[in-house]
Structures are given as C-alpha cells and as structure tokens.
Chain A
Amino acid sequence: MTAFTALLKREVFSLLVTPSVYLLLGVWYLLNGLLFVYALDFSPEVQSDLSLLPQYLFGSSLLVWLLLPAFPPLVTLRLLAEEHRLGTLEPLLTAPISDAAVVLAKYLSASIFFLLFWGGVLLLFVLLASLGAQLDWARVVGGFCGAFLCSLLFLATGLFASSWSGNLILAAGGGAALNYLLLFLPAITENADGAVGAVARAAHIPNMLDRGFAAGLLDSYAAAYFLGLSGLFLFLTWVRLVSRRWVP
C-alpha cells in the first residue's frame, strides 16, 4: 500500500465516522426529497413531462442555487482546518508523503464521500422507475454527472478555504463565499457588454447544468470548466500547504 492509498483510506474512514457529516447528509436528503415530492405533486410542467424532473433535481433549481455551494465546504472544512486546529498536521506533513499527495488524497476522499449525496438523489429516480414511471435516463445520468462535476469544483474551493487556518468557521464560510461568488457573479454580470458579459456567460454554472447535462447532453466545455477550475483550486491548496512550511 502506498502512502497515498493509506491516507485516502483513513480520510474516507474518518468521514464515515463523523456524526456531523451524517447530519448534513440527512438534511440534504430531506430537502431533495421534499423538492422531489413537490415537483411530482405540484409542478404542472413535470406532471405533463416527466423528463423535466432531472432539471429540477440536478439542474438550476433552488437547491443548486442556494444549497449546493454551502454543503461541500461543510464536508471539506475538517480535512485541513481540523488537522491544523487539533495539531495533527505536523505528524502528517513530516510523514514520507508529498504535499501534493496529501491534497489529492483529501480531495478524493471528500469527492468519494460526496457521491453519497448525489447517489441518494439518483436513487429517487431508480425508485420512481421501479414504480413504472417512464424516465429519460440520458437526462437523469447526464444531470447526475453535471451536478457531481459542479460539486467537485465546490469541494476544491472548500478544501482551499480549509487550508488557510485552524478556524472551522472561516474554512466553511470562506469556501461557501467562494462558491456563491462563482455561482452568482456570472449570473449578475451576464448581461453586461463586451468581454465582461462574454466571460460571465461562459462561466454561468446554472446554464451549464440546466441546458447541458440535465438536458441529457455531455457538455465537454462545462466538464472542462468544472475540472479545470477544480484543478486550479487544488493547485492553490497545494501552494498554501507548501507556503505554510515557509511561513507557519
């Protein structure tokens, strides 16, 4: 077993035994369940065309706008900030493992764990299909992939915020603030003229989710956008970890 695998296993295990994460998961399932029931019972659009349901749950619904930016930082806050607060960062960073491997293992563990969040939502569609509903599975799977890719970006910003100090509130709040900025700034400025408007439209996350993935399309631009920005924030996390050695 490599040092990377050992750390990844330990981080996944750590998330699995953290009670607060299960509280988050419960709230997430509850809200998504309510939205699912609401869409089926009260949305005339969905009632007339069931293929629109993935757009509600994986696309630009209220949940994506308000809750998705806040949840990933609540999962990642413990990954580095908690280690810093407890004093366990020193034993970790003096073990024979590179800083890049530490960042990647922690990020991957949070990503694996976050699959549980979206996996539960996906299960609602499986449940619906088992009751005889005719679903457009391209839209369901596409929506799931888009939402998960977006979550990968929000987990990366959360990890970056978590690397700054041992203050858990700053780690969660900073990550959520970054995510809301990534979500709202393009939405606010998309009608601006010139380059600003063009950049805002190119970075409009709800559009990417709603018109691309949740519509059953594999949007390679959006995938590259989410993965590229995730990579950038992981790189910044690594820079922060390395710089912490120079300025503790």
Chain B
Amino acid sequence: MIRVDRLHKRFGAVQAVRDLSFEVPPGEILGFLGPNGAGKTTTLRILSGFLPPSSGAAAVAGHDLTQASIQARRATGYLPESFVAPPELRVGEYLRFRAGLKAVPGARRRRRVAEVTEMLGLGPRLRQPFSALSKGFRQRVGLADALLADPPALLLDEPFGGLDPLQRQEFRELLRGLAHDHRKAVLFSSHVLPEVEELADRVLVIDEGRALALGSREELLSRLDQAPRQRLRISGDGAALGRKLPEAFPGLEVLACDGGELLLQLADAGQRGALFRWFACRGEEVLAFHPDTPTLEDLFRVLVAGAPGAPEEAA
C-alpha cells in the first residue's frame, strides 16, 4: 500500500534521507522512530506529495508520487506535525471545504463530515472557529481532515504531540481500529518510544536519514545481545546481600542497588529459580521479583547512541 524504494532526499549539502526502503501493507501500523532531525518528517512529506524525492521511488496505493502525484495524494490522508487550519473558518466549514478539495461527491460530503466528526468527538466543536480550539482538538481536526476521503493510507507526523494521556489512549484505539478493522496502511512518526511500542505492529528506526532497523517489536528486541536481567525488592539490606551474590552465582552482576531494590544481570535465565531460593534460605522476604525485559528504548539507545552491543543494520 505504501512503498518506498531506495529513497534519497538532499537539501543542498544536507542529506536528509539516505537509501530508505520499506513497505506498509494494508492493515498494518508502522511506527517511524528516530531522534529529532532523523529524517522522519522529510520522508512523510515526500510520501504526502509535499516534497519531491531527490532520487528513488515512492508510491501510495500503486500510484507513483512523481508520476501520478494527484492520484497518490487522493489515496493518502496526511496529518502534518504542526497541523493548522485557517483561523477564520469554523471546524465544520473547514472540513466541508477540505471534503470538496478532496473531491468527495456533494451528496456524500455532509454525511462524511458528520461521520468523521462523530468518530473523533468533534460534534460539539463544529461551530467553533479553529483558532478557539485547544491543541488536542486541533489534532483531531487534522485527523478528521486526513480521514475525510476515506483514503487507504494514512501518514501521521507526530500525531500524539500536545495530547493529554486520555486523548492519547483514544487516539491509539482509533488508529488501531482504522488499521486493523478498516484495513488502512498507517505510517506514523514519533520520537516518544512508549507510543511507538504500544501502537506499532512494526517499527522502523531511522537516524541521520538512514534505516537502522525494521521489524516487529519482538524481532527487534531479539536482536539485542543482552543477558537476562532481574529486578527484585527484598525486605532487608540489599547492599549487604548484593555483595555476596557474585560469589554465590558465577557470572552474575549487580547493576544497581538502592536500599532493598536490586537490579541484577544474570549469567543465564536458569539462575532465576536459584536466586529466589537463595534469598528465602537467608530468611529474606522477597517483596517483588520480576524479569527486567528489554524495551524499544534499550534498542533505540543501542542503535542511535551507538551503545555497545548494537545489532547489525536492518535489511
């Protein structure tokens, strides 16, 4: 549905996107993850038809962005990072104008505006001018605009910016529904890792315009060459016991110790059971005992910050 093939974008001496290739099939949410200035917005702007690529190809719904830009744009719903509508227009007026601009047939236009505004909880705001809306409602208007023509592909640039936690939750559920129930290909960018981790079916990590890794969360995390870690909390003095642990468990490292809280790096996962018994034999009450699973944040740190243990570059 969204296809990017060896995409390059150069602004003068600055290479914003380098040899980027990926696909987003219908029904999938691809999270575009990278630090500020990584090339996320530039890539989305190319896919939205706002910027042309320097070289390479990009297509939406089979329409090449350079050969058939209008058709590709018709198949795309795009939410820019800082979405702004003309301040003098009311929400309803703006959405009806945008529906006309996207050639939504006249008979369907009012119904479609009513559908998307209901879907996004914008009904009570239809008569308000855009300038009077909060950031969260402005984002909703932007998303309503992107959904008006019922496009098969959605491009969302930092869609969670300015939303409160409740709105984020609603937004996530909405996007999941659009992708999984309505079979839309969704590509969204973010530098907020938990958002990507929670929402994306697959993740594309980019930095300096180059793809560093692409895959599902599990696939990416499995590439982290990391020994199992265990987090536990005991009732007694963690520091004193922590000093004895490496002797009792060869290969074990105490990574952090704060009162009764310990973060341990195990030599292997089999040490977990023995560790629990070891504390019990010493009369220590284990209050909490859970594995410290790696997150996308760990992977991101490894990939982008170049921390040791970086996996090979993704295909």
A positions within 8 Å CB-CB of B: 1-3, 5-7, 9-10, 14, 17-18, 86-88, 90-98, 245-248
Contact = CB atoms under 8 A, between A and B. Distances in A.
A14 B86 CA distance: 9
B84 interface: yes
A97 B70 contact: yes
A78 to B, nearest CB: 10
The 10 A-B pairs with the shortest beta carbon distances in the complex, nearest first, are A6-B100, A96-B74, A87-B84, A94-B48, A96-B73, A95-B101, A10-B97, A6-B101, A94-B50, A96-B70
Interface residues of B, number: 30
B49 interface: yes
B83 interface: yes
Given A9-B97, A18-B88, 9 more contacts: A1-B100, A1-B106, A87-B84, A91-B80, A91-B83, A92-B101, A94-B76, A96-B71, A96-B102
B51 A248 contact: yes
Contacts of B70: 96-98
B64 interface: no
Contacts of A6: 97, 100-101
B39 to A, nearest CB: 14
5 contacts: A86-B87, A91-B145, A93-B49, A94-B48, A95-B101
B272 interface: no
Contact of A9 (B87, B98, B100): B100
Nearest to B85: A88
A246 B87 CA distance: 28
Given A3-B103, A90-B80, A245-B51, A95 B98 contact: yes
A164 to B, nearest CB: 18
Nearest to B82: A87
Interface in B67-115: 70-71, 73-74, 76, 78, 80, 82-89, 97-98, 100-103, 106
